[in-house]
Structure 1
Amino acid sequence: MGGNRRMMKLGAFLLVPGYHVASWRHPGARADGGLDFGHYRDLVRTAERAKFDMFFVADGVGIRTPYNDAEELSRWGRFLQFDPVALLSALAVSTERIGLAATASTTYNEPFHLARKFASIDHLSAGRAAWNVVTSVTDAEARNFNRDAQPDHGDRYHRAREFMEVVTGLWDSWEDDAFVYDKDGGRFFHPEKLHVLGHRGEHFAVRGPLNVARPPQGYPVLIQAGASVDGQDFAARWAEVVFTASQTLDEGRAFYRAIREQVADHGRDPDQVKVMPGVLPVVGRTRAEAEDKYAALQELVDPVVGYGLLTQLLGDVDISGSDVDGPLPELPPTQGSTSRQQLVYDKARREGLSIKQLYQSVSGGRGHRVVIGTPQEIADALEEWFTGGAADGFNVMPPVLPDGLTDFAELVVPELQRRGLFRTEYEGPTLRDNLGLDRPAHGAAARLSAAARLSPR
């Protein structure tokens, strides 16, 4: 597939045992798959055979459910998983071309730690690493890190902005050709190509340098999923891939247009940022088969779990005093995910859903768009958004694994390829090559070069 035709980007969001909240109860799911490396390896290889751009694993540094009671928690059944960076290290040597993306929090880590980990993954994978930058949104995580509650929303983003300055500065500790390994001359690296960060700010004091060479991609690909005012501004400054949740084409277009405008306002090229809304596809060889698959999953939703999921999506706002057969009440502000709270609230109002109907509705996509149908119908839905100014690609969230991914890879991807919307071969060896993203210049070296050009001779 030649020429410069714009191609759809696809991420495989492999939340084991599946993205649907009841997936672990499905007969075809591996309920214990979150602790089986071989299961992850097989899933990622399936995505790689289908030429997905990347595999993505979400994460939280705590059991992120609304339950403290062990009985209620036992019904959730889907919170065990490996540390994502450790998982990517193993997958790096089990795959060849697919990108490897992991979530890590700027709230409960130190910049040096994450700079080193993601630089290492980029080297181990020969340039396929990506970091999904999050600020963490639950008190459950805060209580594992010496706090009773999470920091305020604005404070989390303030720390995150300084965190990114430090991390990218550490990735620029060494110029690309710094290391010469000159045995005869006795010189390991060129001294002038070392740049000591020496950062001292409000949140961090980090001298550097990083004890890992500059990553093969310059920086691992940076992903961000915040859709709040702070989240969008942060994404516009830093992100190269933006994961988002939109329910309608008009919502998708509005977000796509807004984020590109904000990217330009930060002096960046909007074409260097890929917007990838989440989508949960339920694929059947007939429409009736797809609808039956989704209905079977919906039947497995435990009311306790559905109600708890809704509470979580609303930012842990207490709605327990409300009639489940009545409408969602007006909601107070949350220190959790403000964008997801608004999205779910808007869905309830737009569709006239009761609280019970709402938690049943969000049990599949959790605020993301659910698309049910034949391979052709799924492809139609994705093509409409891709060509209609709402997306550069999609973060695909299979409802149940492995079958949901296999169905998409074997049925939908060939249809997208037949339409000339998706690659048949990878464009290059690195994730940046395949996403069409430029390799960032070395910040310190570029500044020195510019200064030398401007200085009088």
Structure 2
Amino acid sequence: MARNGEMALGLYVLQAGYIEGAWRDPSVPRTGGVDIDHYAHLAALAEGAAFHFVFLPDSPSVVERDDANIARAGRNDTFEPITLLSALSSKVENIGFVATATTTYHQPYHLARMIASLDHLSHGRAAWNIVTSGNKFEGANFGDEEIPEHDVRYERAREFVGVMKGLWDTWEDDAFVRDKKSGIFVDTAKLHVLNHRGAYFSVRGPLNIARPPQGYPVLVQAGSSDAGIRFAAEFAEVVFTAQPSIESGKHYYANLKRQVRQLGRQDDQVLVMPGIVPIVGRTKQEASDKLKRLQSYTDPEVMTETADRWLGFVTDLRSIDLGSLVPATLPRTNFIQSRQKVLLELAARQKMTWRQLIRTISDSRGHLMVVGTPDEVAETMINAFNEHAADGFNLIPAIVPSGLKEFTELVVPELRRRGKFRSASSGKTLRENLGLKRPLNRFTRAA
């Protein structure tokens, strides 16, 4: 996306909102996690504000480690993303759909077929958020005692993405002639069988669905570890990252774009879109009061469990003096290494105690959090954009639908007034709206 002065915006959707206890707020639908109308309402709000896409996270497991925390968690009753987004594709017309799916516990043929189907169903609005599994409980659902080592997961992911692209290129764009008079449905001269043999996968092909309308659905990736950044530089077109300050965002942005260029890619074809958690009030005090109310919904044990999980299960915070300072380092985790690093760096920079870090993780998980007026939220976003810390943002409402509604009604008009956000969709496909090129079929390109 050429930086024409306007940022991209995505909506990161959790059924109640990002703050753990948000589901307890009276304004949140009780059964929203399994209510298609609830998600359709959120998608319609985002589409009406000209957001570029809706982004659904996912984990193929319950992430809490004991019944006491499972009992209080409001996130274990929700749809699988590709299924949900396929349903939403008939309810909203312009907004894109980012589906999270792990390369560690899927097979590429199945996933290539499902995401191609989503791209066809939505007429070219699909994207795949490539993750490598970061939760210790996922492996047991697929026959593993533990998930594979961090760097091994990325090696598998690299091969996985290559297979997916090869399968999406099975058919040239005009292969399906569907000529009723001659009886020829497909021109097999434009069929290409993959015949992949690799370290992790053996996939013959061909894929039994036409090439996706976008060529490939938009590729999204959220890793910020060294391995994750290398992977993003090689494959990603949209990068979702947690950067708690503009300064950390500038460093990440420059590092990623440099690696993108070193690989011969155009850096305007890789969009950096960090998360932002805004608490918006018409006054600063009103915004602070909203945050305090939302914080009051989260049980202290749930907060501690959440912090342990995002730090990678390398310590037991229930046995630590919460008034003591957070150490500069912790044992390296096999799970989400980049988030542990971001959180420890934030704690060191602000000289946080464990109690303060636990609260910060509960509120924002290390994403940029802004508590203030519409002008203050917009100013923070514009500064990050102008300082090359972001090409846009993934909005992460602390609570939905109210947090999303406040942002669209109060902050979006301010961004537009300053010429930093569009007022309508600019294309039919997600690629067109993001300014991303449609990839050529590898087989026709080679020819």
Aligning the two structures, in what range does the TM-score lie when normalised by the shorter sequence? over 0.9
2:246 equivalent among 245, 249, 261: 249
Q: Report the aligned-residue RMSD.
A: 1.2
The 2-side partners of 1:428 and 1:369 are apart by 29
Per the alignment, residue 452 of structure 1 pairs with none
The 2-side partners of 1:255 and 1:235 are apart by 12
After superposition, the C-alpha distances for 1:365-393 in whole angstroms (9 at most, x for unaligned) are 11111111111111100000001110000
Matched residue count? 444
Is the Cα contact below 8 Å between 1:279 and 1:369 reproduced in 2?
yes
Is the Cα contact below 8 Å between 1:253 and 1:389 reproduced in 2?
yes
Listed as ranges, the matches of 1:158-169 within 5 Å are 158-169=155-166
Per the alignment, residue 130 of structure 2 pairs with 133
The 1-side partners of 2:322 and 2:376 are apart by 34
Runs ≥4 residues deviating over 4 A: none
After superposition, the C-alpha distances for 1:181-237 in whole angstroms (9 at most, x for unaligned) are 112222111121111000011110000010010000000000000000110011111
Amino acid at match of 2:126: A
State the Cα distance separating 1:32 from its structure 2 match.
2.2
Q: Percent identity?
A: 48
- Partner of 1:189: helix, strand, or coil? coil
Range that drifts further, 320-329 or 310-319: 320-329
The 2-side partners of 1:400 and 1:375 are apart by 16
The 2-side partners of 1:6 and 1:418 are apart by 13
Per the alignment, residue 325 of structure 1 pairs with 323
1:119 equivalent among 116, 124, 130: 116
The 2-side partners of 1:106 and 1:164 are apart by 8
Is the Cα contact below 8 Å between 2:3 and 2:391 reproduced in 1?
no
Per the alignment, residue 341 of structure 2 pairs with 342
2:297 equivalent among 300, 322, 330: 300
1:281 and 2:278 correspond: yes
1:146 and 2:129 correspond: no
Amino acid at match of 1:204: F
State the Cα distance separating 1:175 from its structure 2 match.
0.4
Is the Cα contact below 8 Å between 2:326 and 2:351 reproduced in 1?
no
2:190 equivalent among 182, 190, 193: 193
Q: TM-score, normalised by structure 1?
A: 0.95
The 1-side partners of 2:69 and 2:398 are apart by 22
Is the Cα contact below 8 Å between 2:124 and 2:428 reproduced in 1?
yes
After superposition, the C-alpha distances for 1:264-296 in whole angstroms (9 at most, x for unaligned) are 112111110100010001111111111110111
Per the alignment, residue 441 of structure 1 pairs with 440
Per the alignment, residue 351 of structure 1 pairs with 350
State the Cα distance separating 1:62 from its structure 2 match.
0.2
Per the alignment, residue 40 of structure 2 pairs with 41
Per the alignment, residue 270 of structure 1 pairs with 267
State the Cα distance separating 1:6 from its structure 2 match.
3.0
The 2-side partners of 1:350 and 1:6 are apart by 31
State the Cα distance separating 1:305 from its structure 2 match.
0.6
The 1-side partners of 2:354 and 2:308 are apart by 10
Per the alignment, residue 312 of structure 2 pairs with 315
- Partner of 2:20: helix, strand, or coil? coil
Is the Cα contact below 8 Å between 1:310 and 1:362 reproduced in 2?
yes
The 2-side partners of 1:81 and 1:435 are apart by 28
Is the Cα contact below 8 Å between 2:20 and 2:74 reproduced in 1?
no
The 2-side partners of 1:121 and 1:281 are apart by 30
The 2-side partners of 1:80 and 1:263 are apart by 38
Amino acid at match of 2:39: Y
State the Cα distance separating 1:4 from its structure 2 match.
8.1
Structure 1: give runs of 5+ residues left out of the alignment: 449-457
The 1-side partners of 2:277 and 2:358 are apart by 16
Per the alignment, residue 12 of structure 1 pairs with 11
Compared CA separation, residues 388 and 213, structure 1 to 2 (3 A): same
The 2-side partners of 1:79 and 1:18 are apart by 13
The 1-side partners of 2:203 and 2:223 are apart by 26
Compared CA separation, residues 31 and 370, structure 1 to 2 (3 A): farther
The 2-side partners of 1:380 and 1:178 are apart by 49
Is the Cα contact below 8 Å between 1:245 and 1:368 reproduced in 2?
yes
State the Cα distance separating 1:123 from its structure 2 match.
0.3
1:78 and 2:64 correspond: no
Is the Cα contact below 8 Å between 2:177 and 2:187 reproduced in 1?
yes
Is the Cα contact below 8 Å between 1:116 and 1:210 reproduced in 2?
yes
- Partner of 1:169: helix, strand, or coil? helix
Per the alignment, residue 53 of structure 2 pairs with 54
Range that drifts further, 344-353 or 196-205: 344-353
